[in-house]
Amino acid sequence: MKPRDLLLLNVVEYVEPQLETIGFRFSSRGIAFKRASSIGNQEISFSLSKWDSEDDCDFWTMWSATSLKYKKWYQKEWGRTPANIALGGDCDWNLPGWPRAVADHFHLSNHSNDESEMAMLMDAIINIGIPYLDSISDWEGAAHHLVQQSLLFSKAADFLMISGKMAAAEEVLLSGLSVYQSEGKVDQLGELAEIQIRLKRYF
């Protein structure tokens, strides 16, 4: 069986019924699940390895949350569209506790052992992936994850300001300022300027 067909078959049999019960809608075209959150949307998508072959399918999942509300807030505040509307996201192997590492993806072989593989996947989805998605699907949670990664301090501050946490937003901006100015982190994303602009405008 072709890799995509093999993955789709197993996703429809094992994953779709359980995720539908908690509000996700399945798209076979992209092999992805989506559902609404309080401030946007959540998505779980499946990716295939380019090295897959007949009855030999390695795959992994990608997790993301987005919010059009961020776009509307940003346009109102800055008069332009943000680079993206992502709240956060990651590959499954980066999720704490995920049972497979980056070089050890889930594997299907069109064999009876596929059932145990999908059972392990569903356990990881329900107990690790969904809680991760929920944690980045509100303003404060999304900001917390960005700060934990020492990344996009300005965007984290935006999320906190949207939720009315102005003191916390200022603290995040000052923390980011220290990371780039005092600790000497390389500013590959032009983050320092964005931090300084916000400090000047709001604080």
Domain ranges within the chain, ordered by starting residue: 3-135, 139-202
Tokens 């059972």: give the residue: 119
Rounded Cα distance, 19 and 4, in Å: 20
Q: Is the dihedral of CA 92, 88, 139, 38 positive or negative?
A: negative
Rounded Cα distance, 203 and 199, in Å: 5
Q: How many residues are there in the chain?
A: 203
> Model pTM?
0.93
pLDDT at 122: 98
pLDDT at 171: 98
Nearest Cα neighbor of 46 from 116, 135, 108 is: 108
Query: Cβ(51)–Cβ(34) under 8 Å?
Result: no
Residue range 122-138, pLDDT digits in tens: 999 999 999 999 999 99
Distances in whole angstroms, Cα of residue 22 to Cα of each of 18, 25, 83, 128, 197:
7, 9, 31, 15, 41
192 burial level (CB within 10 Å; 0-12, 13-18, 19+): middle
Nearest Cα neighbor of 68 from 93, 91, 38 is: 38
Structure tokens at 62: 């990608």
Contacts of 56 by beta carbon, 8 Å cutoff, 6+ apart: 3, 107, 109
Question: Can you state the angle between helices 139-148 and 153-162, rounded to 10 degrees?
Answer: 160
Nearest Cα neighbor of 126 from 21, 10, 12 is: 21
Percent of the chain with pLDDT over 90: 93
Regions in the chain scoring below 70 on pLDDT: none
pLDDT at 185: 86
pLDDT at 157: 98
User: DSSP string of 68-90?
Assistant: HHHHHHHHHHHSS--S--EEEEE
Element (H, E) at 198: helix 191-202
